[in-house]
């Protein structure tokens, strides 16, 4: 994943539930833009429900040549046969995930430069850094970091040759700046900014890809 480029859509079930949207509908719409990676984030659902949804999403992602990541749960990622897992600071550590059977790719969340440096030293498949701007997609979110902190983070990640994912409050207007920095934007709410129907979501994802130079 050293050359990961383009949009990183996150299918967040809490966000979609508030708008009464089907996660499969949203995923299918976003996947028309052929993003390099897609994450399922399901914080409140049962393991059985998450596993079922991962299993449904996997062939959709495969057809789009998109890597599917589970959030928090390497066990469910392994059972569903998806590409990887995204872990936070309070989840199973990267070293422990790597001891599991299988070949899961791993992304790690970081919220300051010290966490970023520690994560880069362990050489995950990518490191996420944020929130860059205020976000409503995560309860009890960390303090926003801003673009200047992101520039420094991007330089550190580039020196380590590890992809950097920016997350938190990103909108389409930020895409050119993010492309210049060479970071991958993880996006939740902005995918729905033009409407809840499949066509609007697909068009928004395609617009992101175009501005990131990845269409």
Give the pLDDT score at 4. 87
Bridge partners (DSSP) listed for residue 185? 166
- The C-alpha atoms of residue 167 and residue 108 are separated, in whole angstroms, by 12
Q: Yes or no: is domain 8-211 CATH 3.20.20.70?
A: yes
- The C-alpha atoms of residue 164 and residue 119 are separated, in whole angstroms, by 11
pLDDT one-digit tens code per residue, 184-209: 999 999 999 999 999 999 999 999 99
Residue 158 scores a pLDDT above 60: yes
- The C-alpha atoms of residue 119 and residue 33 are separated, in whole angstroms, by 30
pLDDT one-digit tens code per residue, 38-63: 999 999 999 999 999 999 999 999 99
Q: Cis ω on the peptide bond leading into residue 99 (within 30° of 0)?
A: no
pTM of the model: 0.95
Q: What is the mean pLDDT of residues 78-105?
A: 95
Residue 13's H or E segment, with its range, is helix 13-18
Tokens standing for residue 47: 């393991």
Q: What is the mean pLDDT of residues 107-111?
A: 97
- The C-alpha atoms of residue 63 and residue 205 are separated, in whole angstroms, by 17
Domain edges within the chain: 8-211
Q: Is the Cβ–Cβ distance between 72 and 88 less than 8 Å?
A: yes
């Amino acid at each position: 994943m050293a050359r990961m480029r383009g949009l990183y859509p996150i299918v967040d079930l809490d966000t979609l539930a508030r708008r009464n949207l089907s996660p499969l509908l949203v995923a299918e719409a976003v996947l028309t833009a052929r993003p390099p990676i897609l994450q399922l984030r399901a914080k409140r659902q049962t393991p059985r429900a998450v596993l079922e949804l991962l299993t449904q999403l996997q062939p959709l992602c495969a057809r789009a040549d998109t890597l599917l990541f589970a959030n928090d749960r390497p066990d469910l990622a392994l059972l569903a046969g998806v590409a990887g897992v995204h872990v936070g600071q309070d989840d199973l550590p990267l070293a422990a995930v790597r001891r599991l059977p299988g070949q899961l790719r791993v992304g790690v969340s970081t919220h300051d430069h010290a966490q970023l440096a520690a994560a880069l030293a362990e050489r995950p498949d990518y490191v996420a850094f944020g929130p860059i701007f205020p976000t409503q997609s995560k309860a009890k979110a960390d303090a926003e970091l801003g673009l200047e902190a992101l520039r420094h983070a991007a330089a550190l990640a580039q020196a380590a040759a590890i992809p950097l994912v920016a997350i938190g409050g990103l909108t389409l207007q930020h895409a050119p700046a993010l492309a210049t920095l060479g970071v991958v934007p993880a996006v939740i709410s902005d995918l729905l900014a033009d409407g809840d129907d499949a066509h609007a979501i697909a068009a928004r994802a395609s617009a992101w890809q175009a501005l990131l130079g990845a269409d």
